[in-house]
Structure 1
Amino acid sequence: MMQFTEPPPSHPLLHQMSPCSNLPMSKNQFHRTRPWPGFSSSKAVGSFGDANCMEQLLVHCANAIDSNDATLAQQILWVLNNIAPPDGDSNQRLTCGFLRALIARAAKTGSCKMLTAMASANTNLARNTHKFSLIELANFIDLTPWHRFGFTAANAAILEAVEGFSVVHIIDLSSTHCMQIPTLIDSIANRPDGPPLIKLTVVGATEDVPPMLDLSYEELGTKLMNFARSRNVGMEFRVIPSSSSDGFASLIEQLRVQQIVFGGEGEALVINCHMMLHYIPEETLGVIQETNSNPYFFDSSPTLSLRTMFLKSLRSLDPTIVILVDEDADFTSINLVCRLRSAFNYLWIPYDTVDTFLPRGSKHRQWYEADMCWKIENVIANEGVQRVERLEPKSRWVQRMRNANFRGISFGEDAVSEVKSMLDEHAAGWGLKKEEDDLVLTWKGHNVGFATAWVPA
């Protein structure tokens, strides 16, 4: 971290920020020194050690950086550096991640030249994300329900939807490099009427978004086909290079051509979206077209977003089922402070949970928190096309799906039972709740992620 031998000159505004309890709080804020009865609280560090106070300091620092007030920014950074060590408790490590991101923002935007120089001088601000082997990634994902929740719910819904089909075509739009598929193959292999042929289509990993895989998708496909063969399941694997930045336009185009040329009679089309769709830009085409041409030909309305057009394109393919799993937060605001508040009040969860399954100093914990720091930096330090972490809450995705003429369906009792059994393998803070047709993963009562299932209306 940054090293300050002595505090920088005091800024008048800093005196107005103590005690932090007098600072305004955001609507979605809550006091996190004791997040759940029966769980240990975070250690306070003086009058600034409270999580809400740390958030307010970060907000003031962000405003100072964007207004090029180097004196105030450096003063606040000095305070944050002393109350948020990278090896502290969960709130301190969370704040440290945001501290790094704010310095990175100053370096990227060129504001606060003093801070830019500071970022260059402190090379240990950088967090290198790990490239996983297949075994490492599988074991890493099994440590927490963060992804397993979506895998379990989705696989149960898919199995029910494809019953009776002799061919199942799965479009796997997943940030976890097909880690969901082996379990699905295992389940399909045990189908009473015999396993279908599985056609698995994936998009090439074109963006360097964690978790990263130290393996080409061609090699990944070979391993998956070998695994399927060992379970007596026929499988075809196809990679279509396509990017979220244009709404996976090349994927949609090739799927349309495939339907025209080969048809889809007797084939179940499954669209499995696991924490991937939030990388599609949510701005309207009127904004995007300033730098890119519209990749979709059937509708070029400047009031539509690429997300809307992508979902409408999926609907035109008449899929058997669409699974949409993602994190339940909102990182879409164009206002930095709004994004910072939203991210701070959501990303405390992975920092809080890690204490339950990874010991301090372990390499897996370093990888886990490096990925979190990458996400924080992307939300805070980047703008434009470089800012790809654009989460939307479940309510907004539900409305998008309905507007695209999809109808939500409930997860069956088997799916709910399997998710509950999976959660029993993990710490007591994890929970499950149903919201209408949807399943929601919680940590200490706070929403983490959601799983939804859809069919054409």
Structure 2
Amino acid sequence: MNMNNQVYSARPWLGFPTSKSLGSFGDANCMEQLLVHCANAIETNDATLAQQILWVLNNIAPPDGDSNQRLTCGFLRAIIARAANSGTCKLLTAMANVHTNLAMNNHKFSIIELASFVDLTPWHRFGFTAANAAILEAVEGYSVVHIVDLSSTHCMQIPTLIDAIATRFEVAPLVKLTVAGPTEDFPPMLDLSYEELGTKLVNFSRCRNVVMEFRVIPSSASDGFSSLIEQLRMQHLISAENGEALVINSHMMLHYIPDETLPVVQTANSPQISIETCSSNSFLRSMFLEALRSLDPTIMILVDEDADFTSNNLVHRLRSAYNYLWIPFDTVDTFLPRGSKQRQWYEADICWKIENVIAHEGPQRVERLEPKSKWVQRMRNASFRGISFSEEAITEVKSMLDEHAAGWGLKREEEDVVLTWKGHNVVFATAWLPI
């Protein structure tokens, strides 16, 4: 199908295609091509073509349609937001004629709501289950376990880990939990402070006969969590002398650290990441991993989404995002009814990601996912070696997946495990030891 011919053929009419002619645009491949052409038109300031394609997309991709239509509607919103961000008056006039609801209000979850929300799908539970199993094996025999939790889900993994510690060990270790309280707001968002969250976790642990100490360190991904690293360095010698287990648990957080496609502005008040120590080929992600390695952790867990959103080329990024983010839209039909509040929250979070990937550039574009292969190479370069998940861990993950729709699967790739949906990679989980 030649999309250029189909789109441009509308121009001689001095109008738009009729509704009868829209049927051929209805499949996902054609909608993706229309989005690509629209993005190109906006980038080249072709307001007339952009307006025509937007009209077509607005008619074939309603926000309450099937999964592909809702996905495309999310990208349509993002493209319009990008045009608005460009500040081009001519384009903004064209956009005003497209009746698309641009409102995306991200819900602030209560603890109970967020716990139920992450349990809806294996998207997060997969990483929680694999990580907890590996952590339990690594810390056996230690009387003190220091967990540094870098999580996008506000410690939702921790209660299940505390439960497992209480059940598995005859004498539970003292658990020190350090949380990197992000200074940015990324969905899902919580309606209480980290101090309040810490109090709830400490009280929960006490009910399970596990003593917990909680500490939050406000820290930003934009500078490679430099304040967190500085605090951990100050503790490191004392912790090492006391024989504590140090666990670094990263769950879908490290991709918010700027990558090589974003020029890094170094600051003098970031001692671990300063101009003096930063060579031309040193970047924040790699430097952060090297800093973690210098702490000699007992184990490090790295869980993230297996996609690549790092390209500086808008079309490449759009294609990559479109061919990954269809998955959450496809899966939601298996567990949430249309019109439910949870479904609105779920899809609003996805649309936030789409808008960030498409509508923003520079430091504002924080959704910079990298595929598993790139993270594996980064970890190896930072002097970590991968370790396999045990058969017990694999069994637990499979058991968890049995609670969800049949399309979810588990794939093993060397030492790593990967969550799949209908055979497509979704989330990877890796476990690492310092060399």
TM range (shorter): over 0.9
- Matched residue, 1:277: 254
Check if 1:218 corresponds to 2:211. Answer: no
- Matched residue, 1:407: 385
Check if 1:135 corresponds to 2:112. Answer: yes
**Aligned-pair CA distance for 1:305:** 1.3
Check if 1:418 corresponds to 2:389. Answer: no
Give the RMSD, CA atoms, in angstroms: 2.2
Q: Which moved more, 1:294-303 or 1:200-209?
A: 294-303
Aligned length: 421
C-alpha distance in 2, partners of 1:291/1:99?
37
- Matched residue, 1:82: 59
C-alpha distance in 2, partners of 1:128/1:420?
35
Check if 1:70 corresponds to 2:47. Answer: yes
**Aligned-pair CA distance for 1:187:** 0.5
Check if 1:289 corresponds to 2:282. Answer: no
Q: Compute the TM-score of the two structures, normalised by the length of structure 1.
A: 0.88
Which 5+ residue runs of structure 2 have no aligned equivalent? 12-20
**Aligned-pair CA distance for 1:120:** 10
- Matched residue, 1:14: 7
| 1:173-212, Cα deviation, whole Å (9 max, x unpaired) | 0000000000000000123331000000001131110000
Tell me which stretches of 4 or more aligned residues in structure 1 moved more than 4 Å.
Answer: 119-123, 261-264, 290-295
SS in structure 1 of the partner of residue 91 of structure 2:
helix
Q: Compute the TM-score of the two structures, normalised by the length of structure 2.
A: 0.93
Question: Structure 2: which amino acid aligns with 1:131?
Answer: K
- Matched residue, 2:281: 303
**Aligned-pair CA distance for 1:294:** 6.1
Question: Structure 2: which amino acid aligns with 1:257?
Answer: M
1:328–1:391 CA contact under 8 A, matched in 2? yes
Check if 1:364 corresponds to 2:333. Answer: no
**Aligned-pair CA distance for 1:384:** 0.6
C-alpha distance in 2, partners of 1:426/1:332?
31
Q: How does 1:188-199 map to 2 (within 5 A)?
A: 188-199=165-176
- Matched residue, 1:25: none
| 1:258-284, Cα deviation, whole Å (9 max, x unpaired) | 124554432000000000000000127
- Matched residue, 1:166: 143
Question: Structure 2: which amino acid aligns with 1:14?
Answer: V
Match of 1:243 among 209, 220, 241: 220
C-alpha distance in 2, partners of 1:180/1:250?
23
- Matched residue, 1:390: 368
2:77–2:100 CA contact under 8 A, matched in 1? no
- Matched residue, 1:38: none
Does the C-alpha gap of structure 1 residues 258 and 131 become closer, same or farther in structure 2, counting only changes over 3 Å? same
Does the C-alpha gap of structure 1 residues 183 and 53 become closer, same or farther in structure 2, counting only changes over 3 Å? same
C-alpha distance in 1, partners of 2:43/2:313?
11
**Aligned-pair CA distance for 1:255:** 0.4
- Matched residue, 2:433: 455
2:106–2:345 CA contact under 8 A, matched in 1? yes
| 1:60-112, Cα deviation, whole Å (9 max, x unpaired) | 10011111111010000001001100000000000000000000000011136
Does the C-alpha gap of structure 1 residues 205 and 116 become closer, same or farther in structure 2, counting only changes over 3 Å? farther
C-alpha distance in 2, partners of 1:247/1:308?
9
Match of 2:76 among 99, 103, 106: 99
- Matched residue, 1:113: 90
Does the C-alpha gap of structure 1 residues 291 and 112 become closer, same or farther in structure 2, counting only changes over 3 Å? farther
Does the C-alpha gap of structure 1 residues 106 and 64 become closer, same or farther in structure 2, counting only changes over 3 Å? same
SS in structure 1 of the partner of residue 136 of structure 2:
helix
- Matched residue, 2:17: none
| 1:343-388, Cα deviation, whole Å (9 max, x unpaired) | 0000000000000000000000000001111000000000011000
